[in-house]
Structure 1
Amino acid sequence: MNAGNPPGYLLAQIESALCSAFPSKTKLEMMLRHQFSINLEEMARGEDFTEIVYKVVHLFQASNRLAKLINKALKDNPENPELKAIKEKFQITTSLVNILLPLEKNLIKQMQQAYQACCPDELLDDWEDELPDSLAEILESFEDIPEPTDDEKLIVKFVDRLLETGDIPKPKAEQLKQWIKENANNPSDLLPQSSSHSQNYQQQNLDAQPYLLIKLDSSKQYHRQRQPNYLVSAWFIPDISNYDYLRNHQKCKFLETPTADVESEQDVFSLEELPKLIEFFLEQLIQYSREYYGKPRIAFFLPYKLLNYEIEKIKIPDNYDLIIPLGIEYSVILRSLKRFKNYRHQGKWLKKWTQIQDNSQTICLSNFALSNFDSWQELYVDLEEREAIAVKLHQPPCEQILKVIDRTAIPVTLWLRKNDFTTINCQDELEQLLNCKINELPEKVKQQRLEAFGKGNKEEHIGHHLALLWEDPYLLPPQIDYTTL
């Protein structure tokens, strides 16, 4: 698909423009004779007029002269609006295709994400058709979408969004930037033009909070064989402040998993394989290291059975032979996988998360409810009556307690994985930890883990045993499928 072989919808539009400008066989014959010294009868004789036009376009396409056909036709009939429009569209489309077609195989997902980002909200809210699965289909789909009223073409917005993914090889990215300069109505609104813009962009990167999302879900193989194997997926978000899983998700990178063994289920891994798998994900982040400066916060989406697994203590191998648990080097937070399976309490969850954000500058202690109930029924009643937004637990929650936390849409829960301390008062230690602003809690938990790591096993420390459930309803993989997750 290049200037000599454009997509089918564009060929049809060229034929339509020629029929509009030269509505009879005689007028078309005159144009070809005057502009090309071509005898129409030698090209196409005895056919229906639309078939003649089709054959003319086909012959010019075969000789890679469609641009010349359009230009000469416009010279012969300079006032025809369809010819004027098709000249611009042909130039824009074919020049873009020449740049992007070599990238289609490896970057079709990024192209689909950029396409979605250009679609009106109502199309995203009521998505019935499958996404276009080729560059040609993406460009053709733009024909069915009304052009925006902000004076910028959809195809230009598509290229701008594609550049924002950061996945385009540098030489091609430079070609796309030049393409925008030549074809955008307002290139300065899309491309950085000043050093101040560059400085601002660098500052945004400096302030960005990146996230690594890792989802583990029990596989069918696990249910059949009663073995702890899990389906694993991962995504990377360079800057959470510039991300929306529904509307602005093109900057979220889907990470690859290692090629599975021929005899094993695709993307299925055991807990023993998890350290190497996490290492594999972290190594992929190196290619994005210029997009962010902070260490990523790692969010694990887990089934109930794994929420009490000490995932923050997983030791990641490295080149330095230093055994450092994951939660020491990174801020590790937990998410309940169950909350995204046909979750009926989305509204309550969003409301409570808004309360968390509104109280982000207040001390945690004033927002956390203490739960020491043995009965899940008592806990449910207590949380509902309090309209609690955060909970602290002095012992690991059983599955029933975790279900109550999900059922009552609690966004933040902090608990101790053990409480049989002999030299410290865990309740006092938790209260000291919670003497911080609620938005600082993930980093405070990481700090406690770091302090505990420094002491080793010589002293008791709650930092060895902290678990934080941090349910941000806006921190999700792009276009997550709630029915299959």
Structure 2
Amino acid sequence: MKLSSNERKGFYKALIDAFPEYTDLKMMVDLEFDLNLEEIAGKDKLKNVIFELIKWAESTGKLEDLIRGACEYNPGNTKLKEFIQIKKLIDILKPYFDKHKDKVIVAYKLSLPDILTDKDKTPKNAAELIYDSLRFPPQEKDKYSPLEKFVINLLLDESLSCNTDLEIWAKENIGEDRYKQRITGLREEKKQERREVYPGLFVAILQQGESYIVKSWLNKDIAQSRSGKKSYYKQLTKNEQAEIKIDRQLSKVPELVRYWIDNSGVDIKQIHVFLPYELMNHPIDSWKTIDGDDETIGEFYEVIIRCSERMEGTNPRIYRWKTKGSKLKNKLNKLAADVFTPCCGDNHKIIENHCKQDDIIAVKITNVFQDKQPGTMLWKSAIPLALWIRERIDDVSNENELDQLMGKRSKQEEQITLRDISKVVKKARLKYFASSTPHIGHSLCLLWDDPDLLPPEQRITQEHL
């Protein structure tokens, strides 16, 4: 039996707490092993002796005897009890970590505090995961620690078929009443999530030779479809056509979007428009919801720009975008102000090179660039999330406006999480139409290109889906 690095540290700290005096440690070794402590670990400072004692026990195969003996000699020590229970949990967890690592990591990251830690870190083994969870106490007004949340999240995953050992551990260490209360609460939350449907309209503008075509899908529930189930998508047509030719000015598209909205039969929440990167500055949020009316889709829906070149293909930039996009998954509960990187300056090439860095996954572009430049920069740098403004407004600081939009880092000011940024952008667009003063809402662009949220690839003709 060998301890991992994290387990060794935990046992070391427990022994120091359980045996603060050298004589107590010497007596325990004498009684349990009929050996002289000095012969095993020398005569030195207590912490050095304990370190050598653990090394000796590991090298001679007597580690289990040392753990058992220490607990029997000092059965009331809290640190030793905690170490034993954590060791037991690690041993229970090892098979799950080896066979179902992805699901275990998901349960772990769901349990961590939303703001206190960076959720990008992925533990290498069960011991590292458990000891990492122990670093964080329960958040304010939360009676469950991250470790307790992790165990319960794992037990809630029905696909894992967690054995009774894990459930017994949970009841013993979390408390049966608290465990049942948490399980019941989370199950109710999951039922509520299943009841809340979030439909979306997906419209793809694709280049076909010298011209363009448009295709569309109804997504029955955006939140659920991130699981990769293609059954959530339904292809839409107009006059039995699934591919409709359009001009470069996209003049037909607003009418088509209105048609698909009116005939969807559901309350659409989001509209995703996939544009060729050279058309990303197109004012899609200004399309009218009703012909002849002043109301725009940007006021009424969460309108999100996507890059149609990323829908399929083997361009290296697509692989880079998927890598960057995956990093956003665990940042949805982080403050938007902490995730977005400011991109300032008049030289779009410099900004583009800056955005190519691996750690930059979300940008706010404060300068106004025209024509193809925003899309070109975002395509070449593989950025999945971006905010920018199409038009310049006199006496308005774009940087200040974007900062205000996504909230500040201070607890005294409004805090906007990344998860809510599309709702916040919609609110800003609505504010413009209700305001008599110049506002960024009339030209605010949001690109959120989620690689897990793509319509299914299909072979389509005009006659058949």
TM-score normalised by the chain length of structure 2: 0.51
In the other structure, the counterpart of 2:206 is 217
In the other structure, the counterpart of 1:326 is 297
In 1, Cα distance between equivalents of 2:404 and 2:284: 24
2:217 maps to a residue whose letter is W
In 1, Cα distance between equivalents of 2:393 and 2:285: 20
Distance 1:391 1:249, change over 3 A: same
- CA drift of 1:283 comes to 2.1
What is the DSSP-based 3-state SS (H/G/I as helix, E as strand, rest coil) of the residue aligned with 1:285? coil
Q: Is the 8 A contact 1:418 1:465 kept in 2?
A: yes
Unaligned runs of 5+ in 2: 1-187, 408-415, 460-465
1:315 paired residue among 275, 288, 297: 288
1:441 paired residue among 421, 424, 433: 421
In 1, Cα distance between equivalents of 2:235 and 2:417: 32
Structure 1 window deviating more from structure 2 (326-335 vs 395-404): it is 395-404
What is the DSSP-based 3-state SS (H/G/I as helix, E as strand, rest coil) of the residue aligned with 1:230? strand
2:216 maps to a residue whose letter is A
- CA drift of 1:474 comes to 1.0
In 1, Cα distance between equivalents of 2:230 and 2:331: 27
In 1, Cα distance between equivalents of 2:359 and 2:191: 42
Distance 1:401 1:307, change over 3 A: closer
In the other structure, the counterpart of 2:393 is 420
1:328 maps to a residue whose letter is E
2:338 paired residue among 366, 378, 392: 366
Q: Is the 8 A contact 1:205 1:239 kept in 2?
A: no
What is the DSSP-based 3-state SS (H/G/I as helix, E as strand, rest coil) of the residue aligned with 1:209? coil
Verify: 1:272 aligned to 2:243, yes or no.
no
1:51-84: CA deviation from partner (whole Å, max 9, x where unpaired): xxxxxxxxxxxxxxxxxxxxxxxxxxxxxxxxxx
In 2, Cα distance between equivalents of 1:238 and 1:302: 22
Verify: 1:410 aligned to 2:388, yes or no.
no
2:231 paired residue among 238, 242, 250: 250
In the other structure, the counterpart of 1:61 is none
In 1, Cα distance between equivalents of 2:434 and 2:373: 35
- CA drift of 1:207 comes to 1.7
1:231 paired residue among 213, 216, 227: 213
1:217-244: CA deviation from partner (whole Å, max 9, x where unpaired): 2344xx2xxxxx6311000111123325
Distance 1:479 1:273, change over 3 A: closer
- CA drift of 1:398 comes to 4.9
In the other structure, the counterpart of 1:70 is none
1:282 maps to a residue whose letter is I
Distance 1:232 1:347, change over 3 A: closer
Q: Is the 8 A contact 2:215 2:243 kept in 1?
A: no
Q: Is the 8 A contact 1:219 1:268 kept in 2?
A: no
1:405 maps to a residue whose letter is L
- CA drift of 1:397 comes to 5.5
1:110-146: CA deviation from partner (whole Å, max 9, x where unpaired): xxxxxxxxxxxxxxxxxxxxxxxxxxxxxxxxxxxxx
Equivalent residues, number: 260
- CA drift of 1:475 comes to 1.1
- CA drift of 1:377 comes to 3.9
- CA drift of 1:213 comes to 0.4
Q: Is the 8 A contact 2:393 2:439 kept in 1?
A: no
In 2, Cα distance between equivalents of 1:452 and 1:361: 27
Distance 1:390 1:237, change over 3 A: same
1:330 maps to a residue whose letter is Y
Q: Is the 8 A contact 2:348 2:373 kept in 1?
A: yes
In 2, Cα distance between equivalents of 1:352 and 1:480: 26
In 2, Cα distance between equivalents of 1:459 and 1:324: 18
Distance 1:387 1:274, change over 3 A: same
TM-score normalised by the chain length of structure 1: 0.49
Distance 1:200 1:257, change over 3 A: farther
In 2, Cα distance between equivalents of 1:285 and 1:233: 15
Q: Is the 8 A contact 2:324 2:358 kept in 1?
A: no
1:5-30: CA deviation from partner (whole Å, max 9, x where unpaired): xxxxxxxxxxxxxxxxxxxxxxxxxx
Distance 1:295 1:400, change over 3 A: closer
What is the DSSP-based 3-state SS (H/G/I as helix, E as strand, rest coil) of the residue aligned with 2:369? coil
What is the DSSP-based 3-state SS (H/G/I as helix, E as strand, rest coil) of the residue aligned with 1:272? coil
Q: Percent identity?
A: 26
1:261-304: CA deviation from partner (whole Å, max 9, x where unpaired): xxxx9611342222221121112211xx3xxxx53300001112
In 2, Cα distance between equivalents of 1:418 and 1:324: 20
Write out aligned runs for 1:1-150 (5 A). Answer: none
1:410 maps to a residue whose letter is I
1:467 maps to a residue whose letter is C
1:407-461: CA deviation from partner (whole Å, max 9, x where unpaired): 3221101000112323x33221110112121111111000001111112xx2101
1:369-419: CA deviation from partner (whole Å, max 9, x where unpaired): 222344444224322347201111121365355333223221101000112
1:384 maps to a residue whose letter is K
Unaligned runs of 5+ in 1: 1-198, 224-228
Q: Is the 8 A contact 1:392 1:414 kept in 2?
A: yes
In the other structure, the counterpart of 2:306 is 335
Q: Is the 8 A contact 1:255 1:284 kept in 2?
A: no
1:346-383: CA deviation from partner (whole Å, max 9, x where unpaired): 44333322322222222222222222344444224322
Distance 1:316 1:230, change over 3 A: farther
2:440 paired residue among 454, 462, 468: 462
2:401 paired residue among 406, 425, 429: 429
When the two chains are superposed, the root-mean-square deviation of aligned CA atoms in Å is: 2.8
Distance 1:433 1:272, change over 3 A: same
- CA drift of 1:473 comes to 0.3
Distance 1:439 1:266, change over 3 A: closer
- CA drift of 1:326 comes to 1.0
Q: Is the 8 A contact 1:411 1:472 kept in 2?
A: yes
What is the DSSP-based 3-state SS (H/G/I as helix, E as strand, rest coil) of the residue aligned with 2:230? coil
